[in-house]
Structure 1
Amino acid sequence: MENISHLTVNNWMGDRNLPKEKRGKPNDFLVSYLLVPYKRIVNRISAHLTSFSCKTLTFLSMESVENPLLQNFIFPPYDIIEAKHVRPAIHSLLRKLESDLIELENTVEPTWPKLVVPLEKITDRLSVVWGIVNHLSSVKDSPEFRAAIEEVQPKKVEFQLKLGQSKPIYNAFRAIRDSSDWVTLSDARKRVVELKLKEAVLDGVSLEDGEREHFNQIQLELAKLSQKFEENILDATKMFEKIISDKNEVEGLPLTALTVAAEMAVLKGYAKATADDGPWAITLDGPSYRSVLQHSCNRSLREEVYRAHVTRASDGTLNNTPIIERILELRLEKAKLLGYSNFAEVSMETKMATIDKAKDLLDKLHSASWNPAIKDMEDLRDFAIGQGAKEAKDINHWDINFWSERLRESKYDINEEELRPYLSLPKVIDGLFKLTKKIFEIEIEPADGAAPVWNKDVSFYKIKDFSGSPIAYFYFDPYSRPSEKRGGAWMDVVVGRTGVLSCDGTSTRLPIAHIVCNQTPPTQDKPSLMTIREVEAVFHEFGHALQHMLTKQDEGFVAGSQGIEWDAVELPSQFMENWCYQRDIIMNIAKHYETGESLPEDLCLSILSARTFRAGSQLLRQLRYAGVDLELHSNYVPGGPKSIYDIDQRVGKKTHLIPLLPEDRFLCSFTHIFSDKYAAGYYSYQWAEVLAYDAFSAFEEAGLDNDKTLGEMGIRFRETILALGGGKSPNEVFLEFRGREPSPDAFLRYNGLLPAIVAA
């Protein structure tokens, strides 16, 4: 910290926005402008600088002293960032970056120091600051954040377009590719050049005049529509609530669900609500919705909640239908401007697959899962008949989860609620960290207090290698907060690994990640007690984070998951899910939260046996999502005789044994393809699953009970799949790890579907 005053004063003395009489008076400046506002900032960050060998700070301008978003922080100051900071921060940042872009275009040369280094600095600064804003809008939503983002987002998109369509930058990359020095570049640098050339073309660099202006208007409108799409879902989810006072109406709901429902009722003004006596607030938030569908004996309640869920954001002021239509229309226009027939072709430019290969995979998986799904439904009906259920011969969508859970309990002698006490979040996290230490040779330790957080339930961690040196950091935000946090689970980048943006100019900037879930929150007297699916979600998102955090790639544009073809990015996440179903891992994470007692052996074996329960039906459900996504982006004509729901119904006939409800509007909450990065790419989950299961089978072949060979395979996985990032193509990386091309056999075998596809 000894250099902070010196560097800041130098920056101040060059700031022409300050009054003339203030220039050249560093001591006066330090007292009046620097000391007071810096006191709390410096106190917070000084303790963390040594971890990064970074002892100097620089700032964009005087505005950074006032605005936490503009500080050159190491860990974002999440505790003090507010919506009021967004507008001035983004406006100021864009002015600075536009100036940097002009300078780059005027001085660019086809060399790494004169092209890639300054370009990375520009893109990184924007992605970090905007990433923080976007993150807070997802976990701490408010009308103020929404209004601020709505105002500044167009300017941000305009700058990104200007950057992506820069012909001086594009021509410099082409010159590198066409030069005699091309053969001397590393694989990673070649990938950077190829990536940037492809990005520029897809960003419209080749378009001229009117076409470029039209393209840019499309991009601006798409960004706005996607933001609105997600906001509507959050509002529609919050809008639904059902207050129940009659205990008979919540029959079947487990104590965990009743406790959460009572605590939700308290938040809604029912101060005397208790788990035993109610009232209870039922919502469309994930834990509440799933619990009702799985456990409520009240069929009419299940139906009401199911219908509300599949029609979210589909009417009134929150209706996403016109938004979807407009998004699809604009994507098709964009594709044609770029010279493609449809948007799916545009999407495949950044994928391993082609449209035909993606559809071929989906067809093969459909063949493998259809007959098992028929058997699943027959078993379900027979079981319900045996239980004397009135609805047995007329099972509908809101009955499937309920009777599936009863059948699973009967068939495997397993009860999800009986498992919860053995799957407490602290024990699950401890087991996860022990696993990664064992196979990847890393240490993960709590670092709460080392970085500001946005909510009291957020934890912060440091990852170290076995030498004790820090190599990465991550935040973990585990619990559902329906009033302010969007649903689902995800991993996001805070900052990525790069050699260009290190603090001291010699070492590498360490990666930092967000891991966000929406699992059952703790109650007053219990920690978060999880279902096995919630455990899977944590392992899944941690897999994404591992690829980001354990990369050894120093080229920032291809470090971690950057630059990886999108249908391969789910490989590490789905790979990690497999560990949830290994006996030793289950026994390690499953400890009773009160007694510390290990999970009984018979329950462990039941979990393993139940893994493939209704696997055919579950896969068909995913194939619906992937199939309708590809159809909408390759064959659907906006404004034509068929609606988006006609397409969904047609796909649904091939993937659902019970016809979709005519009023099903699932598409109105399909965030993956309308407000995330999976447009014409949802099939990526199945594509990457094939890779992930095949990769995991290598660990089986090495011997899951042999610590030596297991460790060797873990290091091999770390040094290839996790370390290389986008520096090589996914095919090359997989070949380097596995020694052969991927095979779907392991995926089908783990899901109990291999005989089905052989027979087909």
Structure 2
Amino acid sequence: MGFVLSSSAQPLWSASSVSTAALARARAHAAGYSRLGGVNVRSASVGSARVHNLCAPHRRCVGLSAVSMSASTDSNALLDTSAVLPLYGKVLPEHVEPAVEQMLQWAEQQVAELEASLDKATPAAVASFETLVHPLEKVSDKLGKVWGTVSHLSGVKDTEALREAKQKMQPKIVAFTSRISQSEPIYKGFKALQSSKEAYDALSDTQKRIVDQNVLSAELGGVALQGDQKKRFNEIKLRLAELSTTFGNNVLDSTKAYVLILDKQEQIEGMPSSWRAMAAQTAASKGHEGATPESGPWAVTLDFPSYMPFMQYAKSRELREQVYKASLTRASELAEYVERDVNNVPVCEEILALRKEMAGILGFAHYAEVSLARKTATFEEATALMEQLRGAAYAAAQQELVELQAFAESMGFPAGESLQHWDVTFYSERLKESKFDFEEEQLRPYFSLENVLDGLFGLVKRLFGVTVVPVDKEAESISVWDEHVRFYCIQNESGEPMAYFYLDPYSRPAEKRGGAWMDEVVSRSTLFAPAGRTARLPVGHAVCNQSPPVGSKPSTMTFREVETLFHEFGHLLNHTLTVEDGMVAGIRGVEWDLVELPSQYMENWCYHRDTLMGMAKHVESGEPLPEEFFEKIVAAKKFRAASMLLRQLHFSIVDLELHSLFPADGSVNMLEWEKRVGERTLVMPPQPYDRFLCTFGHIFAGGYSAGYYSYKYAEVYSADAFAAFEEVGLENEERVRELGTRLRNTVFAMGGSRPAKSIYRMFRGREASIDALLRHAGLSSPA
């Protein structure tokens, strides 16, 4: 098979397509810490078969070796035309400006030529689909190869020089995308095609979808604006891009800045050996030579693999409070441990004000209407669902807190004193241990990265009939940004390559943003098909921040890290199993509030016995996970489920209200507004220093503004989809494979070629029901 690719960011023209770069930025906050010290706990998918039994390790994928991946040392790696895949490891900060300038000049020429050809057409002429779409796709692809690589590296290999280079070029990228979205000749071309019954009816359903999305995108992008309104609209877009970057940099820098060095055994009492080893390794990397797991010193950071276990296990209440406060005040005026100003409060409030102004210019009542114009749910439907789920969870969450308080007091917590936020995670872990008779750390040795990947790839083969093959990076001259990055080939039932992906598994807090995300490298495209082939194959990358190897010991994962890995792989499958093309391939074009369906669906398999037991093998002995642990894991799935659901609903409702009811005129403080919402969505009042919104990257630096509800909205569908497998029997191989094939051929394959709800109906035969979501959480529908 040929392997001719070029990288691409999101489509530059169709803003209604899901921006995978924005998705990546949103994902980078997916592990944001809650007021209870926890995370958005999701289940995950895993598999039972071992990939190394399915295919030879590091098998060479056909086509890769036929293309030179090397670049001369004196060339600009961003412009090297010999590179099939991005030369990630060769890109230097000084490459950014000349590469972006050159690509923008070329792209402007291409767009000008398209506009000129459209202007020359007679008024009655209707441009063909190919005339309109192909030039735009070419511009998006070529420019995206440069800018997509820069954006990716800024998230996984951040340096001050790269940051400055990106910030310098970002305004020009924003200006160019605005210039395309507001092009009257291009808009009129799409509008004429949409309005011509004869021409429109002759299009395929996929082509109609692309035309419709481009018309909507242009209208929401301000194509109808004139004069001062257009000028102000574009100023807002540019400023919002700057603020988004500032927001993310403030979060990253404040997270990196905090280090607490502990040198006394009593300070780390309760901490598991795996954490001690990692904390000593971190301390050594920060100048404390000779640090050992046994004697210390140990470094506590706000990076998730360090922070979360400390909140779960540290017996020192004083230190838990100290670390909790440091986390909750990141990127705020209270982050005194950061040398520079990282306060995101004014950044957030300016973002909200500008979004409100932008909505007004477009003729909408508020920004939430703008956001939901491109989604499945209406504003009313989204708010109604959040309220329905809040009604189902609130009383149960209150009872969970009462139970936790009583348990803490039975362990010696002062009677009559209320639990604080830095106590909740600690005592929740103790309560879970008491209820289910196991500790999270007991599971870690059973989840080595290698075994977990084997399980995942085995599940994917079982469900979808595809095989994942590791590729030798050196033999294929594949350039990566870190030595631990892996590269894989996905093969179809006939053994032919159908997609490729990178995997970056480990945390690197000094240079890599927190959280986990999936993003595209290049989409499937017939337009860029190599000679003799029908399509260019899709490539993506999955980025996680799990615990790295410590010394010579391999990486072992917490159950939550397993969940995160499989969640992101669900997104990756959505991108790589697509049969659609260009602007609607994979995740592109999928309504944002259902883009989480594939990822959340995959999570459910983590609680399937054969799937879990097939991958859970002790890293040293190879012994399988004891049977009783599986039963306990399944039983613990519903532990404090109402509290976790209510946390997500709080963020969702805050997001919707900040983008609709919040005045954004300075009359009300953003933080005070959140507290008002919390009066009906939180069972514990927030701390006075609560600055969580200052790190809420989903809505301030990602694609989830007035869209965070999407997690729960999509979970209605993902739970309902998994229920279809439960209904036929999870051990019924024939029916599971039949349903898996149907799911692959609809939800995973059709991308944005149809409305997401209609694609789901093709799979399920009906609309999604909320019943499975509530059942999986152990909740009942409110009366």
**What SS does structure 1 have at the residue aligned with 2:417?**
helix
Residues 197-216 of structure 1 deviation map (CA, whole Å, 9 limit, x = unaligned)? 01111111000121111111
Residues 133-176 of structure 1 deviation map (CA, whole Å, 9 limit, x = unaligned)? 11100000110011101111111111111111111111111111
C-alpha contact 1:583 1:608 (8 A) present in aligned 2: no
What are the within-5 Å matches in structure 2 for residues 150-299 of structure 1?
A: 150-179=167-196, 180-299=198-317
Q: Distance in 2 between the 1:65 and 1:689 partners?
A: 50
Deviation at 1:49, TM superposition (A): 10
Q: Distance in 2 between the 1:379 and 1:437 partners?
A: 43
C-alpha contact 1:574 1:689 (8 A) present in aligned 2: yes
1:147 aligns to 2:164 (yes or no): yes
Partner residue, 1:313 = 331
Partner amino acid, structure 2, of 1:439: L
**Residues 108-117 or 340-349, more deviating:** 108-117
Deviation at 1:55, TM superposition (A): 6.8
1:527 aligns to 2:545 (yes or no): no
Q: Distance in 1 between the 2:655 and 2:531 partners?
A: 46
Q: Distance in 2 between the 1:505 and 1:99 partners?
A: 29
**What SS does structure 2 have at the residue aligned with 1:507?**
coil
- Of 559, 570, 586, which residue of structure 2 is paired with 1:543? 570
What are the within-5 Å matches in structure 2 for residues 354-433 of structure 1?
A: 354-390=378-414, 393-433=417-457
C-alpha contact 1:381 1:392 (8 A) present in aligned 2: no
1:138 aligns to 2:155 (yes or no): yes
**What SS does structure 2 have at the residue aligned with 1:595?**
coil
Partner residue, 1:51 = 63
Q: Which has the larger radius of gyration?
A: 1
**Residues 373-382 or 258-267, more deviating:** 373-382
Query: 5+ unaligned residues in a row in structure 1: which ranges?
Result: 5-46
Provide closer, same or farther for how the CA distance between residues 181 and 258 of structure 1 changes in structure 2, counting only shifts above 3 A: same
C-alpha contact 2:312 2:426 (8 A) present in aligned 1: yes
- Of 117, 122, 127, which residue of structure 1 is paired with 2:139? 122
Q: Distance in 1 between the 2:766 and 2:63 partners?
A: 40
Partner residue, 1:725 = 751
Partner amino acid, structure 2, of 1:105: E
Deviation at 1:378, TM superposition (A): 1.4
C-alpha contact 1:264 1:280 (8 A) present in aligned 2: yes
1:653 aligns to 2:694 (yes or no): no
**What SS does structure 1 have at the residue aligned with 2:637?**
helix
Partner residue, 2:699 = 673
Calculate percent identity across the aligned residue pairs. 47
Residues 343-377 of structure 1 deviation map (CA, whole Å, 9 limit, x = unaligned)? 10100111111111111000010011111111211
C-alpha contact 2:61 2:471 (8 A) present in aligned 1: no
Residues 391-443 of structure 1 deviation map (CA, whole Å, 9 limit, x = unaligned)? 77321000000000000011001110111001111111110000000110000
Partner residue, 2:34 = none
**What SS does structure 2 have at the residue aligned with 1:74?**
coil
**What SS does structure 1 have at the residue aligned with 2:256?**
helix
Partner residue, 1:28 = none
C-alpha contact 2:524 2:538 (8 A) present in aligned 1: yes
What are the within-5 Å matches in structure 2 for residues 454-469 of structure 1?
A: 454-469=481-496
Partner amino acid, structure 2, of 1:742: A
Deviation at 1:641, TM superposition (A): 2.4
Q: Distance in 1 between the 2:434 and 2:774 partners?
A: 25
**What SS does structure 2 have at the residue aligned with 1:726?**
coil
Q: Distance in 2 between the 1:156 and 1:324 partners?
A: 22
Deviation at 1:654, TM superposition (A): 1.9
Q: Distance in 1 between the 2:181 and 2:753 partners?
A: 21
Partner residue, 2:89 = 79
C-alpha contact 2:60 2:471 (8 A) present in aligned 1: no
Provide closer, same or farther for how the CA distance between residues 467 and 277 of structure 1 changes in structure 2, counting only shifts above 3 A: same
C-alpha contact 2:67 2:84 (8 A) present in aligned 1: no
C-alpha contact 1:423 1:531 (8 A) present in aligned 2: yes
**What SS does structure 2 have at the residue aligned with 1:502?**
coil
Residues 51-93 of structure 1 deviation map (CA, whole Å, 9 limit, x = unaligned)? 2798799x9xxx9982111233321111101111111110111
1:703 aligns to 2:732 (yes or no): no
**Residues 434-443 or 118-127, more deviating:** 118-127
Deviation at 1:505, TM superposition (A): 7.1
- Of 635, 638, 644, which residue of structure 1 is paired with 2:664? 638
How many residues align? The count is: 709
**What SS does structure 1 have at the residue aligned with 2:270?**
coil
**What SS does structure 1 have at the residue aligned with 2:549?**
coil
Provide closer, same or farther for how the CA distance between residues 659 and 290 of structure 1 changes in structure 2, counting only shifts above 3 A: same
**What SS does structure 1 have at the residue aligned with 2:89?**
coil
Q: Distance in 2 between the 1:302 and 1:468 partners?
A: 52
C-alpha contact 1:381 1:393 (8 A) present in aligned 2: no
Partner amino acid, structure 1, of 2:161: E
Partner amino acid, structure 1, of 2:176: F
**What SS does structure 2 have at the residue aligned with 1:560?**
coil
Provide closer, same or farther for how the CA distance between residues 48 and 387 of structure 1 changes in structure 2, counting only shifts above 3 A: closer
Partner residue, 1:589 = 615
What are the within-5 Å matches in structure 2 for residues 420-459 of structure 1?
A: 420-449=444-473, 450=476, 451-459=478-486
Q: Distance in 2 between the 1:639 and 1:223 partners?
A: 20
Partner amino acid, structure 2, of 1:640: G
1:337 aligns to 2:361 (yes or no): yes
Q: Distance in 1 between the 2:332 and 2:354 partners?
A: 20
**What SS does structure 2 have at the residue aligned with 1:473?**
strand
Query: 5+ unaligned residues in a row in structure 2: which ranges?
Result: 5-58, 119-125, 334-339
Q: Distance in 1 between the 2:309 and 2:426 partners?
A: 9
Partner residue, 2:42 = none
Partner residue, 1:751 = 777
Partner amino acid, structure 2, of 1:126: L
Partner residue, 1:66 = 75
Deviation at 1:286, TM superposition (A): 0.5
Relative contact order, higher structure (CA 8 A, sep 6+): 2
1:112 aligns to 2:124 (yes or no): no
**What SS does structure 2 have at the residue aligned with 1:727?**
coil
Q: Distance in 1 between the 2:414 and 2:552 partners?
A: 38
Deviation at 1:752, TM superposition (A): 0.4
Partner amino acid, structure 2, of 1:410: S
Deviation at 1:506, TM superposition (A): 4.5
**What SS does structure 2 have at the residue aligned with 1:394?**
coil
**What SS does structure 2 have at the residue aligned with 1:176?**
helix
